[in-house]
C-alpha cells in the first residue's frame, strides 16, 4: 500500500510548498528481509536495521560476509542492551529482594515444578530448591524456554559485539537490563506464576513453536514471525504482544537520535521488526524510507 505524505519545504528562492511521495510497506509484506537500510533527510549514510534471534540453533544461524562487512563499516552498534550483561550483575538482578521463588505458587503448582525439574533438568528437589529459592520466576521461564533448543546454539548479539569490539565501534543500548526485567517484575504474582506453569506444562507445544520460529527466521519473513507471536495465544504470547509494541514505540525516538549522529547498525529481536506496530512501519510513519536488503544463506 502506498500513501502520500505532504512534506513542506521552505525554499528561499521560490517560497513554495512541494509534495513528496513516501513509500509505506504493506502488511503483510511481500519482502523477505531481516536487514533494512534506513534513509531520510537527517540520517547519516549507511544506517541499517537488522532482526536477530537471541538464541538460535546452529542449523538456522547464518551470518554472511555481506552482513559482516556492513557492520564493520558502521561507526556504532546499537542493540537492545549495550553489550552482553556481566554475569554477576545480571545474577543480582534476577534475585528476589525478599521472600522465596516458591511464594508465587500453590502447593500443587510447586509439586508440578519439582516434577518438571527432576524430569527435564535432572535436578533433585533439594538441588532445585537450593538453586531457585532466591530467584525470580522469570528465571524458570528462561530455563523452560532454553530446554526447547535441541542442539548447539549461536548468539547474534555475541557475534555482533565481537565484530564491534574488533573494529572499535561504539556499542549503545536502546534500554537497560533493569528496564527489560521490569516487564516481568511489574506483573502480578498470579500472572508470573501462570507464565511459569504454561512454560513447563506446554513444553511440546513450545518446542514446536520454537522450531517454526527458527524456520521462519531462516526464511527472513519478519511479518510471519510477528503473526506467529500475535496469534499463538497463551499467557506468554499475550503479554509478549504488549511487551513488543510498547518497547517499539519507546525505541523509535532513540533510533532517530542514533541514526542522525553516526553510521549506525541497529540489531534487535526480529519480532520487533514486523507487524503494524513494528519498527519498520513505525519508522516509515516518521518519514524514514526503509529498503529491504537481500542476505543469501
Other residues' Cβ atoms within 10 Å of the Cβ of residue 63: 14
| pLDDT at residue number 172 | 97
Q: What is the CA radius of gyration of the chain?
A: 21
Average predicted confidence (pLDDT) for the chain: 86
As a whole number of angstroms, the distance between CA 266 and CA 293 comes to 14
C-alpha closest to that of 113 among 135, 92, 93? 135
C-alpha closest to that of 264 among 121, 61, 81, 50? 50
pLDDT at 150 over 90: no
149 or 162: which carries more pLDDT confidence? Answer: 162
pLDDT at 20 over 60: no
What pTM does this model have?
Answer: 0.86
| pLDDT at residue number 86 | 79
Domain spans, the chain:
23-95+136-293
pLDDT at 164 over 50: yes
| Ramachandran category for residue 4: left, alpha or beta (phi over 0 → left; psi -120 to 50 → alpha) | beta
8 Å CB contact between 160 and 267 = yes
pLDDT tens digits, 88-117: 888 888 999 999 999 999 999 999 999 999
Confidence grade of residue 16 (pLDDT, cut at 50, 70, 90): very low
Backbone angles phi, psi at 101, to 5 degrees: -50, -40
As a whole number of angstroms, the distance between CA 19 and CA 42 comes to 18
Amino acid at each position: 500500500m502506498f500513501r502520500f505524505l505532504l512534506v513542506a519545504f521552505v525554499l528561499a528562492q521560490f517560497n513554495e510548498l512541494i509534495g513528496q511521495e513516501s513509500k509505506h510497506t504493506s502488511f503483510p509484506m511481500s519482502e523477505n528481509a531481516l536487514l533494512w537500510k534506513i534513509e531520510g533527510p537527517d540520517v547519516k549514510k549507511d544506517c541499517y536495521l537488522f532482526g536477530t534471534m537471541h538464541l538460535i540453533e546452529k542449523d538456522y544461524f547464518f551470518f554472511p560476509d555481506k552482513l559482516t562487512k556492513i557492520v564493520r563499516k558502521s561507526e556504532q552498534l546499537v542493540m537492545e542492551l549495550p553489550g552482553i550483561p556481566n554475569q554477576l550483575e545480571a545474577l543480582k538482578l534476577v534475585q528476589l529482594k525478599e521472600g522465596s521463588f516458591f511464594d508465587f505458587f500453590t502447593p500443587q503448582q510447586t509439586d508440578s515444578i519439582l516434577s518438571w525439574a527432576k524430569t527435564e533438568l535432572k535436578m533433585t528437589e533439594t538441588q532445585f530448591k537450593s538453586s531457585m529459592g532466591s530467584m525470580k520466576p522469570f528465571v524458570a521461564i528462561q530455563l523452560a524456554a532454553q530446554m526447547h533448543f535441541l542442539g548447539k546454539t549461536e548468539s547474534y548479539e555475541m557475534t555482533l559485539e565481537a565484530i564491534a569490539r574488533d573494529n572499535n565501534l561504539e556499542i549503545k543500548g536502546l534500554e537497560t537490563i533493569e528496564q527489560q526485567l521490569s516487564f516481568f517484575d511489574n506483573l502480578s504474582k498470579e500472572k508470573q506464576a501462570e507464565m511459569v506453569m504454561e512454560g513447563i506444562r506446554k513444553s511440546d507445544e513450545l518446542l514446536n513453536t520454537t522450531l517454526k520460529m527458527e524456520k521462519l527466521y531462516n526464511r527472513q519473513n519478519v511479518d510471519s514471525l510477528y503473526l506467529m507471536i500475535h496469534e499463538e495465544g497463551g499467557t506468554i504470547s499475550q503479554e509478549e504482544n504488549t511487551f513488543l509494541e510498547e518497547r517499539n514505540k519507546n525505541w523509535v525516538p532513540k533510533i532517530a537520535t542514533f541514526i542522525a549522529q553516526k553510521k549506525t547498525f541497529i540489531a534487535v529481536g526480529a519480532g520487533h521488526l514486523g507487524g503494524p506496530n513494528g519498527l519498520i512501519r513505525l519508522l516509515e510513519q516518521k518519514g524514514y524510507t526503509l529498503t529491504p536488503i537481500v542476505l543469501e544463506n
